[in-house]
Amino acid sequence: MSGQAGHIIVKNLTKIFARSDLNATLVALENLDMEILPTEFISIVGTSGCGKSTLLRIIAGLETATFGQVFCDGEAIRDTDPRRGLVFQEHSLFPWLSVRDNIAFGLRATGKYRSSVELVDRMISIVGLQEFANSYPHQLSGGMRQRVSLVRALIVSPNVLLLDEPLGALDSFTRMNMQDELLRLWNEHRNTMILITHDVDEAIYLSQRIYIMSPRPGRIACEIPLRISYPRNRSSSEFVNVRNMILRKLDFAKEEQEDYNL
Amino acid sequence: MSGKTVSIPAEATPAPKGALSQGRTPTPWELRQLESAPKSKSRASADRVICGLPIVMAALVIAQYKLAPNVGNAITTDTYTYFILFMAFLVSVKFIMSCFSKTSYEKLLAKAPLYTAGFLLFALYDYATLKSGILPLPYFPWPDRILNGIYEDRALLLDCIKNSLILLFSGYFAGVFAGLLTGLASGLSSRVRYWVMPLIQILGPIPSTTWLPIILIVASSLFGGSVFLIALGVWYPVTMTSMLGVLNIPKANFEAARTLGAGKTRLVFKVALPATMPHIFQGLTQGMSVACTALMVAEMMGVESGLGWYINWQRGWAEFAKMYGAVIVICVTFSIVNFLLSLVKRRVLRWQEVNWN
């Protein structure tokens, strides 16, 4: 099912926001074009306020494009769809539901709960939270909460998983563990992954391709394909070279566009 | 690293008392003991005495009642004696339990001063009325008379409690239902809010009992009218709190649910409703006190049954002891109702990060 599904095309996308403080509008995204192939893992990197979250929310169907369109498997995106899962930065678990019920929410919402009750237990054990299945979110650590968010989105087997800085609020040890977890889940489910992050290392460690965005208005500054084989070594010379190059790009992201092949 | 060795005084590092060495973590009670400063001997025995104080106080209450001379030639019965003995018996059971269980000992120790004060109040009131006559009859009957009054009228009082509760809950649940309906709807939809808000702003500040004279004339049945009156009083706080609750739900909750495939109905009943529950329970608690007020007013003004009616009726006969008795019965009844409500609240809101103590 997820073999060839999960093909995202962004065409000439522009998003303008009304600003409530001034009687004015703000161009958040301008003429964005991108294509993400099925089963691809891509990252979008940029400074805060460059519109990367807005882009992700439009792909998820939570915001409407002002101009242009986004297609998922040839269909124009108009609303949210369980085939496009979204993992938020933090605080998006339902505080009134136990870990188990949070994870099962998507199955219940799509009417698949009865036929796949064991799947919930499997998902809980995949992220090692068997002991906490009946705990409530406020009783978990930040890392555990994000693991719950992750499998909660994955359980309905979405073709595309949108990750909005999912590890942004975690400490660096938990974060590195979670990155490996993400790669493992990606290998297992083979869905398209779109990761928003401001952590350059994270983007290089995880993705096959990186988009760098420049702010105000949000544009794609450049696109960097990565051909380093998994699992990646954070201190290898290739890794360090790419990182230096991206950091340089981020500083001068407004200037000339250029394709780098590594 | 200066190379100096610091010696640790032996008493500063006590060995774990079995709790950790046996491969288990300490219970919450043991933990408190481990981490709190050890009690001195005199403090510990003082605590024992405090636990026994309520029983001593109860004995004094009975001694005063039985031994001190009454004012005038007042007739007294043993109802009061039995009542105090029964209360003392309850405390004694707790005292005996506290000798065997450390948790019940701590609980009793925390409550013992309150219990003692309770018995002291009985003693003071008994002294002021029966023993000295500072507070004179007929306006201030002594406790024995009040208790006898309740006992004499027990069948009627039970019937009144039943009628009051039927009226209270009919109005309360009608009001809660209507309040949730308008509150959730106006929280979720700005179009509903547009029409409901002005209504709330105009009707809200008027105490629902204001409508009583009109209802007495218009309503075809007094019961129906009173239900409406109570419901109206409950409707307002429940509407307000549930609407504000929905408006304060973090957007991420709705968005997460939508990306997981939740439809409109699921968003209302599985996201908006549970997320608003903490707010709704504020409204339910406020609504209960409004409902109790409205109930009393309705029963005193029109309805010909129930506890409010009973008080008024006994006033007509100048039966002050029975009036006081009814006040006590009302107090106990409403306390039980509120206690049950708080039990429901704890159960429903068990997911909240709240220290219930």
**Domain closes at, from B144, B166, B191:** B144
Looking at the fold, whether B75 and B172 belong to one and the same domain comes out as no
- Which pair of structure tokens corresponds to residue B98? 């506290």
For B228, the domain range is 153-348
Q: Strands A160-164, A84-87: parallel, antiparallel or unpaired by DSSP?
A: parallel
Hey, are the CB atoms on A153 and B253 less than 8 Å from each other? no
Find tokens 């605590």 and name the residue: B47
Sign for the pseudo-dihedral over CA of A149, A150, A156, A161? positive
Find tokens 């939270």 and name the residue: A129
pLDDT computed for residue B1 by the predictor: 46
**Amino acid identity for residue A86 in this structure:** L
pLDDT computed for residue A50 by the predictor: 84
Contacts of B277 in chain A (CB under 8 A): 96
User: How far is A31 from A217, CA to CA, in rounded Å?
Assistant: 9
Let me know: does B55 contact B88? Beta carbons within 8 Å: yes
Looking at the fold, whether B117 and B166 belong to one and the same domain comes out as no
Phi, psi of B251 (to 5 degrees): -60, -35
Looking at the fold, whether B161 and B55 belong to one and the same domain comes out as no
- Which pair of structure tokens corresponds to residue A43? 């990252």
Query: In this structure, is residue B9 part of a structural domain?
Result: no
Query: In this structure, is residue B331 part of a structural domain?
Result: yes
**Domain closes at, from B116, B144, B172:** B144
Distance from CA of A162 to the nearest CA of B (A): 10
Query: Under 8 Å CB-to-CB from A219, ≥6 apart: which residues?
Result: A29, A30, A31, A32, A213
Query: In this structure, is residue B254 part of a structural domain?
Result: yes
Residue B318 C-alpha from the chain's centroid: 30
Looking at the fold, whether B125 and B173 belong to one and the same domain comes out as no
pLDDT computed for residue B352 by the predictor: 85
Looking at the fold, whether B282 and B340 belong to one and the same domain comes out as yes
Looking at the fold, whether B267 and B178 belong to one and the same domain comes out as yes
**Domain closes at, from B144, B163, B192:** B144
Contacts of A136 in chain B (CB under 8 A): 350-351
Looking at the fold, whether B48 and B120 belong to one and the same domain comes out as yes
Looking at the fold, whether B226 and B331 belong to one and the same domain comes out as yes
Interface with chain B: mutation pick from A77, A86, A90, A94, highest number of B CBs within 10 Å: A94
Domain count across chain B: 2
Hey, are the CB atoms on B277 and A80 less than 8 Å from each other? no
The string of pLDDT tens digits covering residues B219-231 is 878 888 899 999 9
Distance from CA of A42 to the nearest CA of B (A): 20
The CATH number of whichever domain residue B342 belongs to comes to 1.10.3720.10
pLDDT computed for residue A114 by the predictor: 84
Hey, are the CB atoms on B260 and A156 less than 8 Å from each other? yes
CA-based nearest residue to B303, from B231, B220, B221, B228: B221
Q: What share of chain B is helix, strand, coil (3-state, %, to 5)?
A: 75, 0, 25
Looking at the fold, whether B332 and B203 belong to one and the same domain comes out as yes
Flag residues of chain B having pLDDT under 50. 1, 356-357
User: What pTM was estimated for this model as a whole?
Assistant: 0.79
User: How far is B283 from B274, CA to CA, in rounded Å?
Assistant: 14
Find tokens 């018996």 and name the residue: B89
Looking at the fold, whether B158 and B254 belong to one and the same domain comes out as yes
* Cβ-nearest to A62 among B255, B274, B277: B255
CATH for A8-94+159-251, options being 3.40.50.300, 3.10.180.10, 3.40.630.30, 1.10.287.110: 3.40.50.300
Contacts of B274 in chain A (CB under 8 A): 94, 96-97
Query: In this structure, is residue B356 part of a structural domain?
Result: no
CA-based nearest residue to A205, from A181, A230, A225: A230
Hey, are the CB atoms on B256 and A81 less than 8 Å from each other? no
- Which pair of structure tokens corresponds to residue B15? 């060995």
User: How far is B304 from B306, CA to CA, in rounded Å?
Assistant: 7
Hey, are the CB atoms on A80 and B252 less than 8 Å from each other? no
Looking at the fold, whether B179 and B117 belong to one and the same domain comes out as no
User: How far is B21 from B5, CA to CA, in rounded Å?
Assistant: 28
Hey, are the CB atoms on B260 and A109 less than 8 Å from each other? yes
Side-chain-side CA neighbours of A94 within 13 Å: the count stands at 29
| pLDDT tens-place values along chain A, 262 residues long | 444 788 899 998 999 888 877 778 888 888 889 999 999 999 999 887 788 889 999 999 999 989 999 999 888 888 888 889 999 887 789 999 999 999 999 999 988 888 888 889 988 988 888 899 999 999 998 888 988 998 899 888 889 999 998 888 888 888 888 899 889 889 888 899 999 998 899 999 999 999 998 888 888 888 889 888 888 888 888 888 888 888 888 875 444 445 554 5
Looking at the fold, whether B186 and B249 belong to one and the same domain comes out as yes
Query: In this structure, is residue B12 part of a structural domain?
Result: no
Hey, are the CB atoms on B252 and A92 less than 8 Å from each other? yes
Domain ranges of chain A: 8-94+159-251
H or E segment at A41?
Answer: strand A41-45
* Cβ-nearest to A95 among B261, B263, B351: B351
Report ipTM (2 d.p.): 0.85
* Cβ-nearest to A85 among B259, B266, B351: B259
